[in-house]
């Protein structure tokens, strides 16, 4: 599905993007009970007070890197659905939660993009909490910025597709 | 009545809590939980007193599958149910966990109480009693009808 050299493409293929959107909807529906709606592709995210979950699905040739940007209010609302009570935004547990949601999302993405020929495995997730967070994507690799809205609030998913590093 | 010793292995404290909370809600038995944050930690905490294991796949230091293989290499561990609780969903991964890793069941995250019950159903007898380990024995009656589980 992907060319050997990603320099041959300027955008993430629509087929892959569709599978990622489906994965986001499945993941959040299984957690919150309702599927988030893809509102738009955005040019850039305004500085955010919240948490970013980082994870990748990769194989020896390609890596699909994902940044799940969740504002404070959305993260706290999701915590009620996931753990049954409201987690404090300042706690370590909220980072653990968004990391775990990123992990679940990556598992779903890996399963869905395998059906279009991208067979990969998930990395371990990391999470960053902060205020005035700005997300940057390098210009060169194919990338996408997706904004979703759900009953818990809004969140963003940034994607970048690049060739895996070989050492 | 002795409690069932369950080893819960996940690098996420939230997920370890979710497994414990769901098991308690199911009221299959009374559990004593031993928690580990990765495969290495779990191997250190493993003993032959452990009666059931719930293990994540994707963890630092040692994965759940590597941990399961290490457990299965030990003598007298084949009777200990290993339930893989993981975000990995592809059929290849399920096959690896069950056939190479020696896991007995596979539950994908985020799981429901029904899914966890289904994974454990082979350890529940016709009367709804939980049976585990070489010692086996009925630990606590499980009132299926009360929980409306099929």
Looking at residue B3, the DSSP 8-state letter turns out to be P
Q: Of residues B70 and B150, which shows the higher confidence score?
A: B70
Is pLDDT of B133 > 70?
A: no
**Mutation for testing the A interface, residue in B94, B96, B110 having most A CBs under 10 Å:** B110
The label of the residue with tokens 């500085």 reads A47
pLDDT tens for each residue of A38-80? 997 777 778 899 999 999 999 999 999 999 999 999 999 999 9
Helix, strand, coil percent values for chain B (each to nearest 5): 35, 20, 40
Q: Is the separation of the CB atoms in A152 and A32 below 8 Å?
A: yes
Is pLDDT of A101 > 90?
A: yes
* pLDDT of the residue at B141: 39
Torsion of CA A98, B58, B18, A101, to 10 degrees: 20
Q: Give the CATH class of A12-161.
A: alpha beta
- Average pLDDT over chain A, rounded to an integer: 91
Under the banding of pLDDT at 50, 70 and 90, the label for residue A99 is very high
Average pLDDT over residues A10-38: 93
Q: Where are the domains of chain A?
A: 12-161
The two structure tokens encoding residue A137? 């994507």
What three-state secondary structure class fits A75?
helix
Instruction: Give bridge partners of residue A130 from the DSSP assignment.
Output: A50
* pLDDT of the residue at B94: 87
Q: Of residues B90 and B33, which shows the higher confidence score?
A: B33
Distance from CA of A124 to the nearest CA of B (A): 7
Option in B11, B90, B110 nearest A104 (CB): B110
The label of the residue with tokens 């009360």 reads B146
Option in A84, A107, A114 nearest B87 (CB): A107
Q: Would the CB atoms of A124 and B108 count as touching at under 8 Å?
A: no
* pLDDT of the residue at A41: 75
Option in B14, B88, B108 nearest A83 (CB): B14
Q: Which residues of chain B does A83 touch, with a Cβ-Cβ cutoff of 8 Å? A: 14, 17-18
Is pLDDT of A102 > 90?
A: yes
* pLDDT of the residue at A10: 79
Q: Which residues 107-166 of chain A have a CB within 8 Å of chain B?
A: 107-108, 110-111, 114, 119, 121-122, 124
Average pLDDT over residues B48-52: 93
Q: Where are the alpha helices (DSSP H) in chain B?
A: 13-26, 39-45, 64-73, 91-95, 113-120, 144-147
Q: Which of B13-17, B76-80, B141-145 has the lowest average pLDDT?
A: B141-145
Is pLDDT of B145 > 60?
A: no
- CB distance from A103 to chain B under 8 Å? yes
Distance from CA of A158 to the nearest CA of B (A): 20
Q: Residue A143's closest CA among A67, A53, A70?
A: A67
pLDDT tens for each residue of A139-159? 778 999 999 999 999 999 999
Q: Is the separation of the CB atoms in B86 and B113 below 8 Å?
A: no
User: CA nearest A23 in B: which residue?
Assistant: B89
- CB distance from A100 to chain B under 8 Å? yes
Q: What percentage of chain A exceeds 70 in pLDDT? A: 95
ipTM of the prediction: 0.87
- CB distance from B18 to chain A under 8 Å? yes
Q: What does the radius of gyration of chain A's CA atoms come to, in whole angstroms?
A: 15
Is pLDDT of B149 > 90?
A: no
Q: Residue A126's closest CA among A103, A104, A147?
A: A103
Q: Where are the alpha helices (DSSP H) in A33-91?
A: 72-83
Is pLDDT of B137 > 60?
A: no
Average pLDDT over residues B99-118: 91
Option in B12, B14, B89 nearest A108 (CB): B89
Q: How many residues does chain B have?
A: 150
What three-state secondary structure class fits A145?
strand
Under the banding of pLDDT at 50, 70 and 90, the label for residue B139 is very low
The two structure tokens encoding residue A81? 């659905």
Q: Please count the residue pairs, one from chain A and one from chain B, whose beta carbons lie less than 8 angstroms apart.
A: 51
What three-state secondary structure class fits B61?
coil
* pLDDT of the residue at A4: 63
Q: Which residues of chain A does B12 touch, with a Cβ-Cβ cutoff of 8 Å? A: 96, 99-100, 103
pTM of the predicted structure, to 2 decimals: 0.88
Q: Of residues B130 and B118, which shows the higher confidence score?
A: B118
Looking at residue A116, the DSSP 8-state letter turns out to be T
* pLDDT of the residue at B38: 97
Average pLDDT over residues B19-43: 93
Q: Residue A101's closest CA among A85, A114, A88, A82?
A: A82
């Amino acid at each position: 599905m992907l060319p050997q050299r990603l320099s041959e493409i300027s955008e993430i293929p629509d087929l892959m993007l569709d599978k990622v959107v489906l994965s986001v909807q499945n993941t959040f529906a299984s957690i919150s009970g309702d599927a988030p709606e893809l509102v738009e592709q955005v040019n850039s995210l305004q500085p955010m007070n919240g948490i970013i979950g980082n994870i990748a699905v990769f194989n020896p040739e390609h890596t699909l890197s994902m940044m799940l940007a969740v504002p404070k209010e959305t993260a706290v609302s999701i915590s009620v659905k996931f753990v049954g009570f409201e987690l404090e935004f300042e706690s370590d547990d909220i980072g653990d939660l968004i990391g775990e949601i990123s992990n679940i999302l990556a598992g779903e993405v890996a399963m869905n993009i395998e059906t279009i020929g991208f067979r990969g495995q998930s990395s371990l997730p990391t999470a960053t909490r902060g205020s005035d967070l700005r997300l940057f994507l390098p210009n060169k690799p194919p990338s996408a910025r997706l904004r979703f809205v759900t009953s818990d609030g809004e969140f963003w998913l940034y994607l970048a597709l690049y060739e895996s590093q070989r050492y | 009545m002795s409690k069932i010793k369950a080893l819960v292995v996940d690098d996420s404290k939230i997920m370890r809590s979710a497994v414990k909370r769901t098991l308690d809600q199911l009221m299959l038995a009374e559990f004593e939980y031993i928690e580990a944050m990765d495969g290495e930690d779990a191997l250190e905490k493993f003993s032959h007193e452990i009666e059931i294991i719930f293990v994540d796949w994707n963890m630092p230091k040692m994965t759940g599958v590597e941990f399961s293989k290490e457990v299965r290499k030990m003598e007298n561990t084949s009777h200990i149910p290993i339930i893989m609780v993981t975000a990995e969903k592809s059929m290849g991964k399920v096959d690896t966990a069950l056939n190479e890793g020696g896991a007995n069941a596979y539950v994908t995250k985020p799981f429901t109480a029904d899914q966890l019950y289904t994974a454990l159903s082979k350890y529940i007898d016709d009367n709804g009693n939980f049976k585990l380990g070489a010692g086996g024995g009925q630990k606590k009656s499980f009132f299926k009808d009360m929980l409306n589980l099929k």
